[in-house]
Amino acid sequence: MRFAVVQFGGSNCDRDVVHAVSDVCGVDCDLVWYKDGITKDYDAIVIPGGFSYGDYLRAGAIAARTPVMDGIRRHAAAGGLVLGICNGAQIGAESGLVPGTFTTNATPKFICRPVCLRVETTASPFTRLYREGEVIRIPIAHKEGRYVASPEELARLNAEGRVAFRFCDADGNVTPAANPNGAAENITGVLGGPGKNVLCLMPHPERASEEVLGSADGKRIFLGMIRSIEEVGPRA
């Protein structure tokens, strides 16, 4: 089993993800420079957080149009797992891996703090090790993390169980007060792909993968991916 973490110019959470996958979860992981493309048959691809291309135009807009994303889209279309975290979620949405987009926060300032999330579905490789309705604690760090989508897209996401996480309070209540960036319906994690095999989320699970960091709640996203790969067998 082998993961890939794609590095763009401006990525700054790439090595944190490698640490979470390799050192914490015990799975081999390659750092892949975006210009080199996806040249191996990886079991999972992670697009990490950061500020690819300095967030010029829109966050993730330029990176989404680089050739490496063609390989990532093919991987996802074939059922391979793709995880986009923060800037990676912005890139994933700009690439069409999930519907909607992540744009400037309702209050246009950078927000960096732990938040509570409610798990909306366990029917995905990423959320399978949680309980539906469980409240978890994972940090956010973004200025352009407000999820927006058309009413039709939101209705489809809800009908198909493709909302993975919503911002909530410590008791699991989804309220405006618990929404740090003004996201539509408090949504901050969206599932895409033919088998819900793509997750784009703004919170940083790699920053909540060990108790020494203040929370290990994010570790189960990676462990869920690993469990799903084990069940079908590695691709390589």
pLDDT in tens, 59-96: 888 999 999 999 999 999 999 999 999 999 999 999 99
Catalytic residue numbers?
A: 86, 204, 206
- State how beta strands 28-33 and 2-7 pair: parallel
Residue-wise pLDDT tens digits, 183-203: 999 999 999 999 999 999 999
Give me the chain's average pLDDT, please: 95
Q: Is 60 left (phi over 0), alpha (psi -120 to 50) or beta?
A: left
Going from N- to C-terminal start, the domains of the chain cover 3-232
Domain 3-232 has CATH 3.40.50.880: yes
Residue-wise pLDDT tens digits, 4-63: 999 999 999 999 999 999 999 999 999 999 999 999 999 999 999 998 877 777 788 899
- State how beta strands 111-119 and 135-142 pair: antiparallel
d(CA 157, CA 149): 10
Count of CB atoms situated within 10 Å of the CB of 9 = 14
CB contact at 8 A, 138 and 218: yes
| Number of H-type helices and E-type strands within the chain | 5, 11
Closest by CA position to 90, among listed 81, 82, 98, 78: 98
Contacts of 155 (CB under 8 A, 6+ apart): none
